[in-house]
């Protein structure tokens, strides 16, 4: 018997296998105590500030500016000045070089950004490291490639930039949404004023440092932080030529009303209540992984989350059994721990909204399942949740919960699946799980959703357009289509 085998025989067998914590080091990122706005390539001293926190611990991370309409005005002025005095004369291939530089710097500094994104937003480091950061860099790489090929992208249409773009992004993918917006705007030759969400301003402020490192001319991208009032000031500003908004349907509708008749260009990427449809011939274990990825990825703070699960009746029992077993293995906790699957809820306000809708689900008669899991005492947390016995009329089947909560419904025939999937005011995304290619194509033709995944879920690629129908908004981001909203044609 070898030495190793002897030792193994003597080692006590653990009664339970626990994951040891594997925290990512925080010291790679330097957070300043106080941030101003990034206007004309300089940091300003803000008139008002507020505290931004880590939702997993409620610890204050920094003081950041609450931009007033005057400060928003300065940012728009800087963007206009940069547009008319320089940026519009920069040759397309030079513009591309800036974008390539930004992409490479994001790659080089990806760990720093990933840690900051998880700290300020609450999402697991595994996701910020493996999804948000690589995709952000990929967007800049992708649009860098288009900057000097606009004539080919839109043959015979003579594209030209619109001017100053006001961009408002939400808190669920702060850096990724910034990249989705800034990369095509710059590739098309526009200048930008960006407002990150109130709860997650830090990665946008660190991005200002990347812009300086890339030596982007001052004023081409300006960043103003603050709450909805700052966003409203940007929307209202008369010298902004285009508004690109991602966020709630309610705010999106009010922006559309406000801009009606002003001639400003507008794109809206709003909410969703996607159906993830599982047919009885689907590979069940893979489907379970897709369901989990569809709704528990980023704590369900995903506009295209597969929040309504439609299961064919004949496989309902085995599928739900497998799903519940899989849920019990999800690790909820410290976003900076590399083992964590489900991180913190982004804010107290969002947690309250999730709790309210979950209570409504129980009251209306749905059956709730949550795996046993110990939630940290400080911070904002919600256990992964599945509702079965859900009727289409219940609020949890109709409204966007934007949290780790899945509502399960059943169907018998493909027609019934289509009818139920389309029974929503939204139309952003959907998933189809079946082994039949023809069924995938037939479903994709009938589902009223901008993005349809087949035998996978929540997959993104910069070359692929993303956007909605109906109350999920209009306009596309990503791909060649994503350039069009930033261009005018002769």
Q: From CA 358, how far away is CA 403, in angstroms rounded?
A: 10
Q: From CA 27, how far away is CA 290, in angstroms rounded?
A: 34
Query: Residue 132 interacts with ligand NDP (CB under 6 A)?
Result: no
Contact in structure between 169 and 196 (CB atoms under 8 Å)? yes
Query: Residue 248 interacts with ligand NDP (CB under 6 A)?
Result: yes
Using CB under 6 A, pick the residue from 63, 148, 209, 227 that binds ligand NDP: 227
Give the nearer residue to ligand NDP in terms of CB position, either 127 or 334.
127
Contact in structure between 234 and 193 (CB atoms under 8 Å)? yes
Using CB under 6 A, pick the residue from 75, 270, 277, 323 that binds ligand NDP: 270
Catalytic residue among 24, 269, 400, 471: 269
Q: In angstroms, what is the minimal distance from the CB of 304 to ligand NDP? A: 8
Determine whether 373 is an active site residue: no
Determine whether 303 is an active site residue: yes
Query: Residue 303 interacts with ligand NDP (CB under 6 A)?
Result: yes
Per CB under 6 A, the segment of 47-55, 179-187, 227-235, 335-343 that binds ligand NDP is 227-235
Q: Residue 225: which of 49, 42, 40 has the closest Cα?
A: 49
User: HSE of 359 in the Cβ direction (CA atoms, 13 Å)?
Assistant: 6
Return the residue matching tokens 């830090």: 202
Angle at which helices 133-146 and 92-108 pack, to 10 degrees? 170
Q: In angstroms, what is the minimal distance from the CB of 11 to ligand NDP? A: 49
Q: In angstroms, what is the minimal distance from the CB of 303 to ligand NDP? A: 3
Using CB under 6 A, pick the residue from 92, 228, 371, 414 that binds ligand NDP: 228
Number of C-beta neighbours around residue 12 at 10 A: 5
Give the nearer residue to ligand NDP in terms of CB position, either 58 or 94.
58
List Cβ neighbours of 369 (8 Å cut-off, separation of 6 or more).
324, 327, 385, 386, 387, 388
Q: Residue 39: which of 278, 174, 205 has the closest Cα?
A: 205
Query: Residue 81 interacts with ligand NDP (CB under 6 A)?
Result: no
Across 56-67, b (16+ Cβ under 10 Å) vs e yields: bbeeebbbbbbb
Q: In angstroms, what is the minimal distance from the CB of 271 to ligand NDP? A: 4
Q: In angstroms, what is the minimal distance from the CB of 107 to ligand NDP? A: 25
List, by residue number, the catalytic residues: 269, 303
Binding residues vs ligand NDP (CB under 6 A)? 168-172, 195, 197-198, 227-228, 231-232, 235, 246-248, 251, 254-255, 270-271, 303, 350, 353, 400, 402
């Amino acid at each position: 018997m070898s030495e190793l085998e002897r030792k193994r025989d003597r080692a006590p067998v653990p009664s339970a296998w626990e994951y040891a914590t594997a925290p990512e080091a925080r010291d790679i990122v330097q957070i300043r105590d106080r941030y101003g706005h990034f206007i004309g390539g300089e940091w300003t001293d803000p008139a008002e500030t507020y505290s931004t926190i880590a939702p997993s611990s409620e610890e204050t991370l920094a003081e950041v500016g609450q931009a007033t309409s005057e400060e928003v005005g300065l940012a728009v002025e800087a963007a206009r000045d940069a547009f008319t005095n320089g940026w519009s004369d920069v040759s397309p291939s030079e513009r591309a070089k800036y974008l390539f530089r930004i992409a490479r710097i994001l790659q080089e500094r990806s760990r720093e950004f990933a840690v900051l994104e998880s700290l300020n937003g609450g999402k697991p480091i595994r996701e910020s490291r493996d999804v948000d950061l690589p995709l952000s860099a990929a967007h800049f790489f992708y649009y860098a490639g288009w900057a000097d090929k606009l004539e080919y992208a839109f043959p015979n249409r003579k594209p030209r930039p619109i001017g100053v773009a006001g961009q408002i992004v939400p808190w669920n993918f702060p850096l990724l949404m910034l990249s989705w917006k800034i990369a095509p705007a710059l590739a098309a030759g526009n200048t930008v004023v960006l407002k990150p969400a109130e709860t997650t301003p830090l990665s946008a402020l660190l991005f200002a440092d990347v812009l300086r490192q890339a030596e982007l001319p001052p004023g081409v991208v300006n960043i103003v932080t603050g709450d909805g009032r700052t966003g409203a000031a940007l929307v209202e500003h008369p010298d902004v030529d285009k508004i690109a908004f991602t966020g709630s349907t309610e705010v999106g509708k009010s922006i559309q009303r406000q801009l009606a008749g002003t001639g400003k260009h507008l794109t809206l990427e709003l909410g969703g209540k996607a159906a993830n449809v599982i047919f009885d011939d689907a590979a069940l274990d893979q489907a379970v992984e897709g369901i989990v990825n569809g709704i528990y990825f980023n704590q369900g703070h995903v506009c295209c989350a597969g929040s309504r699960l439609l299961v064919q009746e004949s496989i309902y029992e085995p599928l739900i059994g497998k799903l519940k077993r899989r849920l019990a293995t999800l690790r909820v906790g410290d976003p900076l721990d590399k083992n964590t699957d489900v991180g913190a809820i982004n804010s107290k306000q969002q947690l309250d909204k999730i709790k309210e809708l979950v209570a409504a689900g129980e009251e209306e008669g749905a059956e709730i399942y949550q795996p046993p899991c110990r939630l940290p005492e400080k911070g904002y947390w919600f256990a992964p949740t599945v509702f079965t016995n859900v009727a289409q009329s219940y609020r949890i089947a109709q409204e966007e919960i934007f949290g780790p909560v899945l509502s399960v419904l059943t169907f018998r025939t493909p027609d019934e699946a289509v009818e139920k999937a389309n029974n929503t005011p939204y139309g952003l995304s959907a998933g189809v799980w079946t082994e039949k290619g023809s069924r995938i194509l037939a479903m994709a033709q009938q589902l009223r959703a901008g993005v349809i995944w087949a035998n996978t879920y929540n997959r993104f690629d910069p070359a692929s357009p993303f956007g909605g129908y109906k109350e999920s908004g209009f306009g596309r981001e990503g791909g060649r289509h994503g350039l069009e909203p930033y261009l005018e044609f002769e």
